[in-house]
Amino acid sequence: MIKTSNLSYAYENGQEFTFPDIDLDPGDHLLVIGPSGVGKTTLLYLMAGLLAPLDGTISIAGTDLHSLALNTLNKFRGEHIGLIFQQYHFIKSLNVSDNLRLRQSFPKSANDKKRRLELAERLGLADHLHKKVTALSQGQQQRLSIALGLIHRPKIVFADEPTSNLDDLNCVKVIELLKEEAEICKSSLLIITHDMRVMSHFQNQVVL
Ligand SMILES: Nc1ncnc2c1ncn2[C@@H]1O[C@H](COP(=O)(O)OP(=O)(O)OP(=O)(O)O)[C@@H](O)[C@H]1O
């Protein structure tokens, strides 16, 4: 499902990174761990096609990501990849429900209310659907970010520190939800973390 080969990246200031090869089958889970600043988020952005590699290749479901034209790449990402960002990407003028509905409508038009309610229920957001996103607590915003990454049932889920703002109870809930969703959708799951609470739940780990 995901295969990287000889990946490297350089920021404009000349800071360079080389990454170990990753080979993840459909339904597999992988944790990418390592100290702050080692390039974990950079690797995730490369695999999601948000950054272009200096060298090397990334293949997702047999498609060479960086051979795609920008429009096709955006459509491919929207359809197949679920991104759970460390920094939230919400439309601040919309409420929780409308943020989820907007994500459902891209790239294909879909308005699956049942799915929104089910996911909101499982993430403890059901009572907050009509709140502005700016009125949510940090933990609620993180759970909304997770819901936005999963709402369209992507084949691959990339999650960057999905539990960092969560208490122990919600941390376990989120890990279980990510695993359950991955199981139901046969999705591959790649999580970046340095949260010790997450590490014990996944055997397959790569250290950067
Ligand atoms: N847009 C950018 N321009 C220049 N340097 C950057 C940029 N983004 C990140 N970096 C630098 O690249 C390095 C790797 O950043 P990255 O966010 O990938 O690390 P990380 O392992 O995910 O860190 P953390 O665990 O703290 O989130 C850091 O030194 C960071 O300052």
Average pLDDT over residues 11-34: 94
Closest Cα to atom 11 of ligand 1: 37
Q: How confident is the model at residue 8 (pLDDT cuts 50, 70, 90)?
A: very high
Q: What is the mean pLDDT of residues 151-167?
A: 89
Q: Whose CA is nearest to atom 24 of ligand 1?
A: 36
Query: Is the C-beta atom of 11 inside 6 A of ligand 1?
Result: yes
Which domains does the chain possess?
2-207 (3.40.50.300)
- How far, in Å, is the centroid of ligand 1 from the Cα of 98? 31
Q: pLDDT: is 73 or 86 the higher one?
A: 73
Contact predicate 192/164, CB 8 Å: no
Say yes or no: CB of residue 13 within 6 Å of ligand 1: yes
Residues 22 and 67: beta-carbon distance below 8 Å:
no
Is residue 87 within 6 Å of ligand 1 at its C-beta?
Answer: no
For ligand 1, the distance from its centroid to the CA atom of residue 145, given in whole angstroms, is 20
Which ligand 1 atom sits closest to the C-alpha of 42? 18
Angle between helical axes of 138-150 and 96-104 (0-180°, round to 10): 20
Tokens of 18: 């080389």
* ipTM score over 0.85, yes or no: yes
Residue 156 has pLDDT above 70, yes or no: yes
Give the Cα separation of 135 and 90 in Å (integer).
Answer: 12
Q: Is the dihedral of CA 86, 91, 96, 97 positive or negative?
A: negative
193 Cβ closer than 6 Å to some ligand 1 atom? no
Question: Which pLDDT score is estimated for 191?
Answer: 95
pLDDT, residue 89, reads 83
| pLDDT, tens digit (0-9, with 9 covering 90-100), for 79-131 | 899 999 877 788 999 999 999 998 887 766 677 889 999 989 988 899 999 99
Nearest CA to ligand 1 atom 27: 36
Q: What is the pLDDT of residue 2?
A: 93
CA of 11 to the centre of ligand 1 (A): 9
The predicted pLDDT at position 21 comes to: 96
- What is the model's pLDDT at position 35? 87
Beta-carbon-side half-sphere exposure of residue 105 (alpha carbons within 13 Å): 7
In this predicted structure, the answer to whether residue 69 has a pLDDT above a threshold of 90 is yes
Residue with more model confidence, 32 or 107? 32
